[in-house]
């Protein structure tokens, strides 16, 4: 494992069990005060990466009262992790194993986990694979039932990704695609989203993921039955749980959100007003909810 230091975080590169090189960011590692609190591990969505959590991780790791060490991962094929030559390994069980490898490399034996979208699905698996690792869980706009309409929307905009000429064009593209679902966002939020989603390569602004990630979605249609994960959801019963649903989410329905609360009576339910899939967690309302939840752990 190798590491380098940025202004607010350390960068780590380490090997997965199959030798692929993976990447993680470690915020607050060098602040002795963070040893007094459980660390936070952040798992991003399908095509997203550790940069999604940069502002949240920075705020949590520099909190004046209880700073936390925060780890954010790039799965294989995303961000600064290597693309897998065997595209069949872009699947949840492999990514769950990669998350466990990251925790082992970064000396994480127990933590609060935040999983956005696909990250939350990985947490469903980890609850059955290594429940002792999970001190508490935040599921961001994801649950045991995934709406096929939302998956088809995700496929549509991921397939439409193209190289862009400038960061301004990238921001306008995001507004065009997601603006209706995210009326709460301000200009700075759109720029932050662009910084997380895109990377500059060869003078162009491109989406920062392996296009092969979309392949499993290509065979889906409106009649595709998506298996539910209610059996795995039971693994959260003994774990403090908060679930965030975007008010305009196309992935997590209001009915599933309500049933999750019924099946886990201690669940903290939060709606991200004016946001769709998936809510930005560093915005003031979401940050307040997250800190209120994790400060009790």
Is 96 within 8 Å of 42 (Cβ atoms)?
Answer: no
Query: At residue 254, does pLDDT exceed 80?
Result: yes
Rounded percentage of the chain residues whose pLDDT exceeds 90? 95
Flag whether pLDDT at 3 surpasses 90.
no
Q: Is the model's pLDDT at 7 over the cut of 90? A: no
Q: How confident is the model at residue 131 (pLDDT cuts 50, 70, 90)?
A: very high
Do the beta carbons of residue 38 and residue 126 sit within 8 Å? no
Task: State the Rg of the chain over Cα.
Answer: 18
pLDDT the model gives residue 2: 81
Cβ 123 vs Cβ 137: under 8 Å: yes
Calculate mean pLDDT across residues 218-232: 95
Compute the distance between CA of residue 130 and CA of residue 127 in angstroms, rounded to an integer.
6
Q: Is residue 56 within 8 Å of residue 116, measured between CB atoms? A: no
Q: Are 197 and 207 in contact (CB under 8 A)?
A: yes
3-state secondary structure of 148: helix
Q: How far apart are CA 24 and CA 111, in angstroms?
A: 15
Spatial contact of 41 and 106, defined as CB atoms under 8 Å apart:
no
Query: Which sequence spans correspond to the domains of the chain?
Result: 2-148+225-294
User: What mean pLDDT comes out for the span 117-122?
Assistant: 98
Per residue in 27-80, pLDDT (tens digit) is: 999 999 999 999 999 999 999 999 999 999 999 999 999 999 999 999 999 999
Predicted local confidence at residue 162, as pLDDT: 84
Beta-strand (E) ranges in 44-201? 70-74, 111-116, 134-140, 198-201
CATH code of domain 2-148+225-294: 3.40.50.1820
Q: Going by C-beta distance under 8 Å and a sequence separation of 6 or more, which residues neighbour residue 88?
A: none
Q: Which long-range contacts (CB under 8 A, 24 or more apart) does 118-124 make?
A: 118/43, 118/44, 118/45, 118/46, 118/92, 118/142, 119/42, 119/43, 119/44, 119/45, 120/43, 121/92, 121/229, 122/43, 122/92, 122/95, 122/96, 123/43, 124/229, 124/232, 124/233, 124/235, 124/236
Under the banding of pLDDT at 50, 70 and 90, the label for residue 209 is: very high
Report d(CA 268, CA 51) in Å as an integer.
26
pLDDT at 1 over 90: no
Is the pTM higher than 0.85? The answer reads: yes
Is the four-CA dihedral 279, 285, 287, 289 of positive or negative sign? negative
DSSP β-ladder status, 198-201 and 204-207: antiparallel
pLDDT digits (tens, 9 = 90+) for 158-186: 998 888 999 999 999 999 999 999 999 99
pLDDT digits (tens, 9 = 90+) for 140-156: 999 999 999 999 999 99
Average pLDDT of span 250-275: 98
């Amino acid at each position: 494992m190798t590491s380098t230091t940025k202004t607010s975080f350390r960068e780590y590169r380490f090997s997965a069990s199959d030798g692929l090189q993976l990447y993680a960011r470690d915020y607050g590692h060098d602040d002795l005060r963070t040893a007094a609190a459980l660390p936070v591990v952040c798992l991003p969505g399908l095509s997203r990466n550790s940069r999604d959590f940069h502002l949240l991780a920075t705020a949590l790791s520099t909190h004046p009262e209880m700073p936390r060490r925060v780890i954010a991962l790039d799965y294989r094929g995303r961000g600064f992790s290597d693309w897998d030559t065997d595209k069949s390994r872009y699947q949840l069980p492999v990514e769950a194993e990669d998350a466990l490898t990251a925790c082992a490399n970064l000396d994480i034996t127990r933590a609060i986990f935040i999983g956005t979208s696909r990250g939350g699905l990985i947490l469903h698996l980890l609850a059955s694979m290594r429940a002792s690792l999970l001190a508490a869980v935040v599921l961001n706009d994801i649950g045991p039932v995934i709406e096929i309409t939302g998956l088809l929307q995700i496929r549509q905009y991921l397939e439409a990704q193209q190289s862009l000429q400038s960061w301004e064009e990238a921001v306008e593209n995001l507004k065009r695609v997601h603006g209706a679902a995210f009326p709460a966002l301000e200009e700075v939020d759109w720029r932050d989203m662009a910084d997380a989603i895109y990377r500059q390569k060869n003078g162009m602004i491109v989406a920062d993921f392996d296009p092969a990630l979309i392949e499993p979605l290509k065979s889906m249609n409106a009649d595709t039955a998506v298996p539910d994960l209610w059996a795995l959801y039971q693994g959260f019963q003994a774990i403090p749980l908060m679930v965030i649903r975007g008010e305009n989410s196309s992935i997590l329905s209001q009915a599933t959100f309500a049933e999750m609360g019924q099946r886990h009576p201690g669940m903290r339910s939060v709606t991200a007003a004016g946001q769709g899939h998936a809510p930005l967690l560093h915005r003031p309302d979401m940050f307040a909810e997250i800190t209120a939840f994790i400060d009790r752990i």
